[in-house]
Structure 1
Amino acid sequence: MNSDQIAHGDVDVDLGRLFASVRLKWPRILFAALVITGLVFAVTYTVTPQYRAQTRLLIETRESIYTRPQGVNDGDRPILDGEGVASQVELITSTEILTRVAEDFNLANRGEFAGDGGSFLSGLLVMAGLKSAPVEGTAEEKVLRAFRERLTVYRVENSRVIVIEFSSEDPKLAAEIPNAVADAYVAVQSDAKLQSNTSATQWLEPEIQDLRERVKEAEARVAEYRAQSDLLLGQNNTVLATQQLAELSSELSRTRANRSAATAQAASVRSALQSGASVETLPEVMASPLIQRLRERQVELNAQIADLSTTLLGNHPRIRALRSQLADLDAQIRSEANKVLAGFEAEAATAERREEELNAELNRLKAASAVAEEEQVELRALEREAAAQRELLESYLTRYREAASRSDRNYLPADVRIFSRAITPSEPYFPKIVPITVAAFVASLLIMAVMTLLQELFSGRAMRPTAGVPAPVPATARMPREEPLEEVRTGEPELTDVDTERAHIPVFAERPEVRQEPVKPARYGEIDIEQASERLVAGGAGRALFISPEGDEAAAASVLVARDVADSGLRVLLLDLTASGAASLPMLESVAYAGITNLLASEAQFADVIHTDLFSECHIIPVGTADPKRAMRAADRLPIIMESLSAAYDVVIVECGPSDARDIRRLLSSDTEVLVSMVDPEEGEMAVEMLDDLRESGVDAPILVSPAGHRMPPAPPGRDAA
């Protein structure tokens, strides 16, 4: 990470100096605000004033109680719901109604509807890209388009009220148009009802004729079937056979009762006569008028005998004569009782014979009634069909007469009422010059003040170093890389998880100063592991590229340097670009981890490929397990990945293996250190050739790193040691 990045992390905003710039530059801010306000005032003053008026409609039932169809109440008529009212809003803005109103007012000859020029404000909006340019079309399309732009129709929430608003340059026209649109809508509704009524009348006429014929046919079938089946109707509209069966059942019951009564009476009289009991105690015998007269004569004779017995003896001829008459009366009473018994017996026999006749007749009527009931079922079905046809005919006739009368008298009220008509507005609703000018002045003051603050902030004049932290040394004042650096790095990013979303956001935190010891220059420009670590810590390099001409053995230098720098407190990441994973193997114990090839092949994210060293706080991105060929196809993404890692880490160390200058060109940046690691001192000439190759390729001051105590051989003639 370079010193500029450190500087941004170690400074605060000087609020006093920041707001002092506003006080110093207030004349310029005020002048700019006045200029902008003047322009806004000029624009609003030249804008053609617009007037707006509105008409209100109420969706309700307009049918009178005197003309309402019979049997229909107001509660039975459907009232439009929210969707229905919204549909009426769309109907008001239909092309039919708007075209009719546009023709009535001849809007095609008005400039604001013809679309020839347009207002100055509209032209500015079109030029600024805030409004689309007018689309070419026919004159009627232009008028309708302009009409719809100025017309607003909406429903008042939670009500059946529809508001029609219209704006125009002419205040009189602004009031007349919504009224005309409302009248046209009411007329369309009435016409729709009239058309519906006419269509219903035209449909009912032939339907009524057909129904009349069907009613005649149904009633004729009823009469014909009744005549063929001999289904005569008696009282209460019942079949005669059924009625006779009911009457005969009643008579049979009475006959059985009479027979039972006569049999019982005959048995009682017979028992009394056979036992020699007095028949005068039997109510059936005493009911006979003759016996009653004989009984009266017997009483008289007994009375006479009693009277004569007081003066005459019992053998007196008169008393004997009276007693003889009394005996005759007893014989007559018994004889008459026998006749009563014979009468009862005859009555019982007659009732029995009548009962037999009635049973026979009852059986015959039962069979006839069963047949009649079956025929009655069919007859009732025919009658129901005829009745249904008759009721439908009567209903159609009633509706036809109502529809015809409404059409003749032209009484078809629409279910809408205009309860508030638009009046000519006296003041324009746009533009409001004073409020717009005041708002423009306040907004311009705020904008200019914010712009001044941002300018002061981005210029760096409002920045100050953090208390207790020395100001960083500018990049131009750095010492040459061959000499020890005295600048101490004092800030590092906090340890945060690195992923695809936050890897490029560095977060800095305070850390104690790192004690720095001067870097001693080695012979032939050679430095050891400790000096290389100190150089990276103190030099401010954000990226270090290690090249190992000897192969995997020399890759250990990058691992040692990465661990040493991590121990100093910096956040370090080692990126292993070797083919065998020589740098990541001693740090992870295995190369079977997701790494840079997985990231390039889009098989993993940053959080999946960054691992922690087993023996230090250093992070490592291994080679990975993806197909190298597939990963190399996305090699162009490597510089972007390096930029993200450099933003998240203090130092990014890249082990490039036995690469050359062409291979590392895409990894170079302005704050990159290039180091060549050597293990075998006998291979010094190879190292010198690599250093010369890097210099010729544009790499400034590449550094040779070797273990402590190893010395490089003298450079060949004509070559300089690194």
Structure 2
Amino acid sequence: MAVSSYQSRDADIDIGRLFAAVWRDKWIIGIGALVITALVAVALMWTTPQYRSDARVLIDAGESVFTRPERDPLADQTRFDQEAVASQVEIITSTDLLMQVADQLDLAALPEFNDAASMSAFGRGLAALGLAGDPSAVAREKRVLEAVRERLTVFPVENSRVIVIGFRSSDAELAARVPNALAEAYVALESRAQLQNTGAAADYLESEIGPLQDEVRVAEAAVAEYRAANGLFVGQNNSVLATQQLAELSTELSRVRAERSALEARVASVESALESGASADTLPDVIASPVVARLTEQQANLKARQADLSTTLLPGHPRMQALQSQIGGLEAQIRDQARNVLAGLRNEARIARGREEELNGDLNTLKAASADASGSEVELRALEREAASKRALLETYLLRYREAQSRDQGEYAPAKARVISSATVPLEPSFPRMVPMVGATFFIAVLLMVIVTLMRELFSGRALVPAVAAAGSGPAVSARQDDAAMAVAPAEAAPVRAAPAEAPAPETALPANDNFSVTAVTAKLVRRGAGRALIVAPAGGSGAENTVALARALDGKGLRAIVLDLSGTGLAGALMDADPSDPGITDLLAADASYSDVIFGDSASAAHIIPAGNADADRALSGIERLPIILDGLSSAYDIVLVDCGVTDAAGLGRLVGPDSEIVLSVDAHSGDNAVDAAQDLADGGYDDVLIVLDDTGETPDPVQPAPLRKAG
């Protein structure tokens, strides 16, 4: 087994001694911090106060809805992106603008901006010897410019078009005057630039308008001449006359064709009726004739008289025959009249065909003329487009020229920036801020003094826990083997089952050997660097009391120890004042409780205990696979985990053994000869290196009335 020392863990540092050292040197720490704070306060009091003030400028189009050009109302609003704002910052910090403000405020006359004027005699002497720079060797304008740039801060506000112009100075009034003057100079510069651009634009447009007017006149004259030369006269809807006539003739031809088709259909209908012998008075064209209408009326009257006489006279009566003869004559007249109507319809159809032929001839003539006009119209449209484009350009130039001229003459040039916040005279200096800086100095001084005290205590070695002397591997193994032999030998000497069955077995006499005491086993666990101790009890015995004693002894050595009660008896929890009704390891395995619910503190030490719990056994067994994970988690949080395995054999330890585990056989007055059997079983199971702890009290704890339980931590 690899032996790991506890000397490298945090427990090797005595935290209490460190706090005691800080408390011991509290007066030194306090006085030192106060001295440092006082020195810093004096230095700040001798420092020349600096005042800071700032003005804010909004980059925005100065146009209103009444003066903005109509060609692009949103042009000035959409072009101020982040790059444009950054460009305005560069303009504000330009050399020309800064020098203009410096001359306006006469900053060169102030010692703050002229190192040569405020240079002491000692400084002049060093400059003469070449040990320091001579400000007078630099031009005065450059010195002033560098001083202004050093004190000036110009930056854009994030996600906005606002630029902050800040300035610091030892003069509070000057700290406000400089940013205000710079902001006003920048706005005036932008206004002058706009006015210059407007004047230049007006001059350019004026020089272009005259030649463009001549070009427009020439282009429009060319259009008129070409139209007259090619007969491209304009008709309705701005179209060529030949094209318009062609459209009208096509419409008339369509109407004549429809009329001729209707007449031919009427002729065919009348001819069909006459040839088939049908009654002529059923045809619409025949009925429309007034003569046919009168004949039909007479025929109807005769038929009515005939019907009246047929009631008293026979068909052969002369009067009846006379009426029938008159009716037949009327029918013949109606048919003759129908033939006359047919002849009229044929005449109208012939006239319509003649009109259609005439219109076709005229249409063909116009088609040829329209084709010629279309070819000429292509060139005409090109001339018209040229004239229209030049006229549109001329109108645009005229409109812009009038706008530029009105602005130039009225000197209206709104700047693309305006001051939204002027700098005010600051009432308090921005540097030094006495209260925050003195407070921070005192805090840092105290922190540094505490760190120095802690480091001194650590390097002196007084804050380190004395290490347990570790023996060599060879002697340690032989010593453990000798201890095991001494503990088991008396039991092996006595014959097992030597007493009669009916006689009570005498209690085993435990050897009085300090090698098997709780203190000795504790020292061995520490020396071996055990992270997990599995306490096994022989049949008839209990390892709870020794487990609790080991936990308290390990806690006394400064180790974080926890007891895990897997014995099923609950004795370990009772010894550490655990309440049997509280949750424990079985509840954790059954997922009925969390770690914080099952970990409790020992009333007699700083050790912790996870009692047996009260969950259903079947549910707890269903989560037994989580037991190694629980043990690993406890090992990461504690220096050592003591598992009270109760009465078990070597096979039952397979799930609990880890790489840094130690097996401890707990022997008490009730173990009897079973201790020998347990030791032999462990040896047969491959656990040869077993520690033995003896309990000579012979007492059994009473878990019935536990003391009040306290939570861990």
TM-score, structure 2 length as denominator? Answer: 0.52
Separation of aligned partners in 2, 1:113 and 1:174 = 13
Separation of aligned partners in 2, 1:17 and 1:248 = 122
Pair 1:77–1:378, CA change in 2 (3 A): farther
- Look up the match of 2:246: 245
What amino acid does structure 2 have at the position aligned with 1:137?
A: V
Separation of aligned partners in 2, 1:108 and 1:416 = 28
TM-superposed deviation, 1:176: 1.0
TM-superposed deviation, 1:201: 1.5
What amino acid does structure 1 have at the position aligned with 2:88?
A: Q
* Cα RMSD (Å): 5.3
Separation of aligned partners in 1, 2:45 and 2:315 = 164
- Look up the match of 1:106: 106
Query: Is 1:376 aligned with 2:377?
Result: yes
Query: Is 1:77 aligned with 2:60?
Result: no
Separation of aligned partners in 2, 1:437 and 1:345 = 126
Separation of aligned partners in 2, 1:240 and 1:449 = 108
- Asked if structure 1 preserves the Cα contact closer than 8 Å seen for 2:61 and 2:76, the reply is no
Separation of aligned partners in 1, 2:96 and 2:330 = 122
TM-superposed deviation, 1:174: 1.5
Separation of aligned partners in 1, 2:300 and 2:21 = 160
TM-superposed deviation, 1:214: 2.8
What amino acid does structure 1 have at the position aligned with 2:159?
A: N
Query: Is 1:97 aligned with 2:97?
Result: yes
- Asked if structure 2 preserves the Cα contact closer than 8 Å seen for 1:52 and 1:168, the reply is yes
Separation of aligned partners in 2, 1:446 and 1:118 = 41
TM-superposed deviation, 1:101: 1.0
Pair 1:275–1:123, CA change in 2 (3 A): same
CA offsets, 1:682-721, max 9 Å, x none? xxxxxxxxxxxxxxxxxxxxxxxxxxxxxxxxxxxxxxxx
- Look up the match of 1:144: 145
Alignment of 1:658-669 (within 5 A): none
Any stretches of 5+ residues in structure 1 without a counterpart? 1-11, 470-722
- Look up the match of 1:391: 392
Alignment of 1:547-626 (within 5 A): none
What amino acid does structure 2 have at the position aligned with 1:102?
A: A
- Asked if structure 2 preserves the Cα contact closer than 8 Å seen for 1:61 and 1:79, the reply is no
CA offsets, 1:458-510, max 9 Å, x none? 999999x99999xxxxxxxxxxxxxxxxxxxxxxxxxxxxxxxxxxxxxxxxx
What amino acid does structure 1 have at the position aligned with 2:242?
A: A
Separation of aligned partners in 1, 2:17 and 2:262 = 138
TM-superposed deviation, 1:187: 0.8
What amino acid does structure 1 have at the position aligned with 2:70?
A: Q
- Look up the match of 2:227: 226
- Asked if structure 1 preserves the Cα contact closer than 8 Å seen for 2:165 and 2:179, the reply is yes
- Look up the match of 1:501: none
TM-superposed deviation, 1:157: 2.8
What amino acid does structure 2 have at the position aligned with 1:223?
A: A
What amino acid does structure 2 have at the position aligned with 1:112?
A: E
TM-superposed deviation, 1:102: 1.0
- Look up the match of 1:346: 347
Alignment of 1:246-265 (within 5 A): 246-265=247-266
Separation of aligned partners in 1, 2:164 and 2:348 = 99
What amino acid does structure 1 have at the position aligned with 2:61?
A: T
What SS does the aligned partner of 1:77 have?
A: helix
- Look up the match of 1:290: 291
Pair 1:109–1:264, CA change in 2 (3 A): closer
Separation of aligned partners in 1, 2:36 and 2:283 = 140
Separation of aligned partners in 1, 2:338 and 2:59 = 100
- Asked if structure 1 preserves the Cα contact closer than 8 Å seen for 2:263 and 2:349, the reply is yes
What amino acid does structure 1 have at the position aligned with 2:212?
A: L
What is the aligned-residue identity percentage? 54
- Look up the match of 1:358: 359
Separation of aligned partners in 2, 1:308 and 1:29 = 157
What SS does the aligned partner of 2:90 have?
A: helix
- Look up the match of 2:68: 68
Pair 1:118–1:247, CA change in 2 (3 A): same
Separation of aligned partners in 1, 2:399 and 2:434 = 65
TM-superposed deviation, 1:160: 2.4
- Asked if structure 1 preserves the Cα contact closer than 8 Å seen for 2:60 and 2:77, the reply is no
TM-superposed deviation, 1:183: 0.7
- Asked if structure 2 preserves the Cα contact closer than 8 Å seen for 1:115 and 1:146, the reply is no
Any stretches of 5+ residues in structure 2 without a counterpart? 1-11, 471-713
TM-superposed deviation, 1:309: 11
Separation of aligned partners in 2, 1:420 and 1:454 = 54
TM-superposed deviation, 1:41: 6.0
TM-superposed deviation, 1:64: 1.6
Pair 1:93–1:296, CA change in 2 (3 A): same
TM-superposed deviation, 1:106: 1.1
Pair 1:341–1:17, CA change in 2 (3 A): closer
What amino acid does structure 1 have at the position aligned with 2:291?
A: L
Aligned pairs, how many? 452
Alignment of 1:32-43 (within 5 A): none
TM-superposed deviation, 1:268: 4.3
What amino acid does structure 2 have at the position aligned with 1:411?
A: Y
TM-superposed deviation, 1:180: 0.6
TM-superposed deviation, 1:296: 4.5
Separation of aligned partners in 2, 1:264 and 1:15 = 126
- Look up the match of 2:368: 367
Separation of aligned partners in 2, 1:211 and 1:101 = 46
What SS does the aligned partner of 1:165 have?
A: strand
CA offsets, 1:74-103, max 9 Å, x none? 587225222222222221111111111111
TM-superposed deviation, 1:211: 2.9
Pair 1:425–1:133, CA change in 2 (3 A): farther
Pair 1:314–1:56, CA change in 2 (3 A): closer
What amino acid does structure 2 have at the position aligned with 1:360?
A: G
- Asked if structure 2 preserves the Cα contact closer than 8 Å seen for 1:61 and 1:416, the reply is yes
Separation of aligned partners in 2, 1:330 and 1:461 = 155
- Asked if structure 2 preserves the Cα contact closer than 8 Å seen for 1:47 and 1:119, the reply is no
Pair 1:59–1:255, CA change in 2 (3 A): closer
CA offsets, 1:654-680, max 9 Å, x none? xxxxxxxxxxxxxxxxxxxxxxxxxxx
Pair 1:210–1:327, CA change in 2 (3 A): same
- Asked if structure 1 preserves the Cα contact closer than 8 Å seen for 2:123 and 2:132, the reply is no
TM-superposed deviation, 1:406: 2.2
- Asked if structure 2 preserves the Cα contact closer than 8 Å seen for 1:97 and 1:181, the reply is yes
CA offsets, 1:555-600, max 9 Å, x none? xxxxxxxxxxxxxxxxxxxxxxxxxxxxxxxxxxxxxxxxxxxxxx
Query: Is 1:88 aligned with 2:121?
Result: no
What SS does the aligned partner of 1:411 have?
A: coil
Pair 1:443–1:269, CA change in 2 (3 A): closer
- Asked if structure 2 preserves the Cα contact closer than 8 Å seen for 1:252 and 1:355, the reply is yes
CA offsets, 1:156-184, max 9 Å, x none? 23332222121222221111111111111
CA offsets, 1:52-76, max 9 Å, x none? 2221222233322222222644587
What SS does the aligned partner of 2:58 have?
A: strand
TM-superposed deviation, 1:145: 1.3
What SS does the aligned partner of 2:207 have?
A: helix
Separation of aligned partners in 2, 1:311 and 1:155 = 126
Query: Is 1:50 aligned with 2:50?
Result: yes
- Look up the match of 1:421: 422
What SS does the aligned partner of 1:359 have?
A: helix
Separation of aligned partners in 2, 1:316 and 1:29 = 164
- Look up the match of 2:175: 174
CA offsets, 1:397-423, max 9 Å, x none? 222222222223333222323222122
Pair 1:156–1:326, CA change in 2 (3 A): closer
Separation of aligned partners in 2, 1:16 and 1:301 = 150
What SS does the aligned partner of 2:197 have?
A: helix
What amino acid does structure 2 have at the position aligned with 1:93?
A: T
- Look up the match of 2:701: none
Query: Is 1:160 aligned with 2:161?
Result: yes
What amino acid does structure 1 have at the position aligned with 2:387?
A: A
CA offsets, 1:342-366, max 9 Å, x none? 3222222222222222222222222
Separation of aligned partners in 2, 1:84 and 1:388 = 35
Q: Which region of structure 1 is more displaced relative to structure 2, 351-360 or 454-463? A: 454-463
What amino acid does structure 2 have at the position aligned with 1:110?
A: L
CA offsets, 1:417-439, max 9 Å, x none? 32221222233333456766777
CA offsets, 1:267-305, max 9 Å, x none? 444455556665444433333223334444556677789
Separation of aligned partners in 1, 2:76 and 2:439 = 57
Pair 1:69–1:323, CA change in 2 (3 A): same
TM-superposed deviation, 1:194: 1.4
What SS does the aligned partner of 2:78 have?
A: coil
